[in-house]
Structure 1
Amino acid sequence: MSEKKKKKSPTREWWDSVLFAVIAATLIRGLFLEAYTIPTPSMEKSLLVDDFLFVSKVHYGARTPKTILQVPLTHQKIWFTNIPSYLDWIQLPNYRLPGFTKIKNNDVVVFNYPGTPLRPDPYGGHAEYPVDLRTNYIKRCMGIPGDVLEVKDAVVYINGEKLPEVKGIQKYYDIEFNTNPNEKIFEKADVSVLARRGEGGKYFYRINATAEGLEEIKKYDFVTNVYPEILPKGDTSSIYGAAFPYNSRLFAFNRDNFGPITVPKKGDKIILDEKNAALYGSVIATFDLNKNAEFRDGKVFIDGQEIKEYTWKQDYYFMMGDNRYESDDSRFWGFVPEDHVVGKAAFIWMSIDRDASLFNKIRWKRLFNIIK
């Protein structure tokens, strides 16, 4: 006669249910979909602060875990504390599972922020966290591996051709009026006013606007001039002028005039002359999967030996925010390595306006919008 199976206690059943839920949520989060919140305005007007979105891991292929000693369903800290949620004692090799598409120009991508060793980095980049726990950023991919990218007067060109701008890109303009305008015109056009001044009977407004918003403002007959706020080519003197790779002698790049540069592609070989070493040396030493690489005195060393040519070990991407003048992106810290890519921004499932009244908190028109 078989023994009667012992019934689980309520506590044991509760524990089994919680364990199953944690394992299932961890697998879904790691392999399929993960929820993110937009914390900053760097992608406005395409994505707004407090948009809640799902990021697809299956589009580009999910990464296998690298930092395995971690509290489940956390990122850098344990919830509501400043206590690290992980131990970096064990770091596994990083692999990417097959996806069903590649990153394309103008895709909106979530990635772990790499930072750059060429400037002080307060944002949780390569010096602070393992790859898979670096701070999550979301930007639009401008350049894919092998692309020759150039920004000319704030317009992006890829391989000599103008990259089509998506709806929602914002830039700064100075608008001149011959009368003091009612500021409701800016609200109606969904345009942000940054500064205002009067001078010699004229009124000047510095605005941050999409192309559509700018056209709405230009319809008024009391608009006399529009001045795009563009840094001249070679101007690296202002706080906005300094750009990657921070070598104005060899590369007088700024936020509005940058390049041309070639985005690194796996398998491509480069000659490490003075310019290429200055542009790519820190990337080779910090991100390209080399154990004993250094970039110092303008030269690249592997295992203590200076190298004169180099073959890339992984792909890289050039990312920019849609809010072009309020985004910390590849113009300022360089390329995104392939092993830092988290996934493709898929759709908005909730959007909250924290400044609105109680009954207008939810931005209903944004719910379940596909991200383009």
Structure 2
Amino acid sequence: MSKSNLFFILLIVAGYAVWKLLDHLALPNTFTILLILLTALCGALWCYHRFVVLPKRARQILRAEKRTGKTLSDEEKNQIEPISEGGEFLASLFPVLAFVLILRSFIFEPFQIPSGSMEPTLRVGDFLLVEKYAYGIKDPVFQNTIIETGKQQRGDIIVFKAPPEPSIDYIKRIVGVPGDRIQYNEADRRITLTYAKDGKECSVDCVTKTFSYSEPQADEEFNIIIGQDRSGKPIYSAEHPLKLIERGDVEHEIHWDPLPPNATYMYQDYVSQQNYITEWVVPEGEYFVMGDNRNHSADSRFWGFVPEKNIVGKASYIWLSLDKKQNEWPTGIRFDRLFSKIH
């Protein structure tokens, strides 16, 4: 076995071991950490080759040509200070990895919709571009804001590290910002929002808005999931969800089940709850999010608020949409959704 082949095998084994270690620790940025480590390794090799190996090799070749009095062929040059194939290959990856790291860490990050919690706005099989710079430039590991570029707004669709599972990315819509009081009526599924003042809960001269809703209509493009089979594939009922327009801080489509289920017993972090009405007050530096598929979304109602530090970025565009259902293979492409802006 050649040294270069052995080097690659050892590199793969080491990479896999680091991946499993980070996965076991359930860190929120496993892929980014691995990308940084690999970029640093390739960068060190690139610098070593660029500023040490290649200049030394050039000097040795020049001396050999002066000594022999002739120009060496490429084959003869390759015999002088030969460069490791494995090291040279890794060094050549550095510019590409550095570009990907910068792009993914500070500009755009790809995201795939894994479930139906944001239907009908976003569908299973949608591939999104997430603007990493929308709310600030953050360091890629600890996610501390270096430069602030904007603030999260009510109605924004964000990708974030799930508070109950920080190693997993969720996508939801912001309903409340710090200081807002959110009231959710489980009986009629309407939202009432009392707006914050200067980021704090309002107590005097408050502005309160009850969201309005269009007449619900059966959405025959979708079926309601009622469970999963042994392989994990969803089991669909013959019923269709109801589609309607919610008019609050933004206007967008949502889904309701035909019959409103009572899930108030599972709600978390509320300040009051009675007669099917639950209220939350959003703490400073945190956000209240909900899925557009209101009866099939695990969101702030169930596990609490999203810290600002957990926010990855703002979902901006659908660049690809595969015609598929959850945990099933795609059957085509939804061309009408390609390169569409997310609202």
Which TM-score band applies after superposition, normalised by the shorter structure?
A: 0.5 to 0.7
Equivalent-residue separation in structure 2 for 1:39 and 1:328 (angstroms): 13
Equivalent-residue separation in structure 2 for 1:242 and 1:316 (angstroms): 20
Structure 2 counterpart of 1:364: 335
Cα 1:140–1:253 change in 2 (3 A) is farther
Letter in 2 for 1:190: E
1:163 Cα deviation from its structure 2 partner: 4.0
Equivalent residues, number = 230
Paired residue for 2:221, among 183, 190, 195?
190
Letter in 2 for 1:100: T
Cα 1:22–1:193 change in 2 (3 A) is closer
Paired residue for 1:142, among 167, 175, 182?
175
User: Identity of aligned pairs, percent?
Assistant: 31
Is this contact kept in 2: 1:62–1:97, CA < 8 A?
Answer: yes
Letter in 2 for 1:161: K
1:164 Cα deviation from its structure 2 partner: 6.2
Structure 2 counterpart of 1:155: 190
CA offsets per residue over residues 65-103 of structure 1, 9 Å max, x none? 346xxxxxxxxxxxxxxxxxxxxxxxxxx5213243211
Equivalent-residue separation in structure 2 for 1:369 and 1:229 (angstroms): 32
Structure 2 counterpart of 1:111: 160
Letter in 2 for 1:29: R
Equivalent-residue separation in structure 2 for 1:321 and 1:207 (angstroms): 18
- Bigger relative contact order, structure 1 or 2 (CA pairs below 8 A, ≥6 apart): 1
Gaps of 5+ in 2: 1-54, 62-76, 195-207, 227-237, 246-255
Task: Tell me how large the CA RMSD over aligned residues is.
Answer: 3.6
SS at match of 1:54: strand
Is this contact kept in 2: 1:318–1:330, CA < 8 A?
Answer: yes
SS at match of 1:17: helix
1:334 Cα deviation from its structure 2 partner: 0.8
Structure 2 counterpart of 1:34: 109
Please report the TM-score for the alignment, with normalisation by the length of structure 2: 0.58
Question: Is 1:45 aligned with 2:15?
Answer: no
Structure 2 counterpart of 1:242: 266
Is this contact kept in 2: 1:264–1:316, CA < 8 A?
Answer: yes
Equivalent-residue separation in structure 2 for 1:323 and 1:263 (angstroms): 21
Question: Is 1:57 aligned with 2:126?
Answer: no
Letter in 2 for 1:42: S
Equivalent-residue separation in structure 1 for 2:117 and 2:314 (angstroms): 17
Structure of greater Rg:
2
1:209 Cα deviation from its structure 2 partner: 1.9
1:253 Cα deviation from its structure 2 partner: 6.3
Is this contact kept in 2: 1:192–1:209, CA < 8 A?
Answer: no
Equivalent-residue separation in structure 2 for 1:140 and 1:370 (angstroms): 15
Cα 1:245–1:227 change in 2 (3 A) is closer
Letter in 2 for 1:320: M
Structure 1 counterpart of 2:281: 262
1:63 Cα deviation from its structure 2 partner: 2.2
Question: Is 1:352 aligned with 2:322?
Answer: yes
Is this contact kept in 2: 1:149–1:157, CA < 8 A?
Answer: yes
Is this contact kept in 1: 2:138–2:147, CA < 8 A?
Answer: no
Equivalent-residue separation in structure 1 for 2:334 and 2:178 (angstroms): 37
Please report the TM-score for the alignment, with normalisation by the length of structure 1: 0.54
Letter in 2 for 1:102: K
Gaps of 5+ in 1: 68-93, 116-123, 126-133, 174-185, 196-204, 213-225, 232-237, 266-314
Is this contact kept in 2: 1:193–1:207, CA < 8 A?
Answer: yes
SS at match of 2:316: strand
Is this contact kept in 1: 2:241–2:257, CA < 8 A?
Answer: no
Paired residue for 2:273, among 249, 252, 268?
252
Letter in 2 for 1:264: P
Is this contact kept in 1: 2:157–2:171, CA < 8 A?
Answer: yes
Equivalent-residue separation in structure 2 for 1:264 and 1:164 (angstroms): 25
Is this contact kept in 2: 1:243–1:253, CA < 8 A?
Answer: no
CA offsets per residue over residues 172-218 of structure 1, 9 Å max, x none? x9xxxxxxxxxxxx67x4342568xxxxxxxxx85312117xxxxxx
1:211-360 → structure 2 map (5 Å cutoff): 211=244, 229-230=259-260, 241-245=265-269, 251-252=272-273, 257-259=277-279, 261-265=280-284, 315-354=285-324
Structure 2 counterpart of 1:304: none
Is this contact kept in 2: 1:191–1:210, CA < 8 A?
Answer: no
Structure 1 counterpart of 2:144: 95
SS at match of 1:135: strand
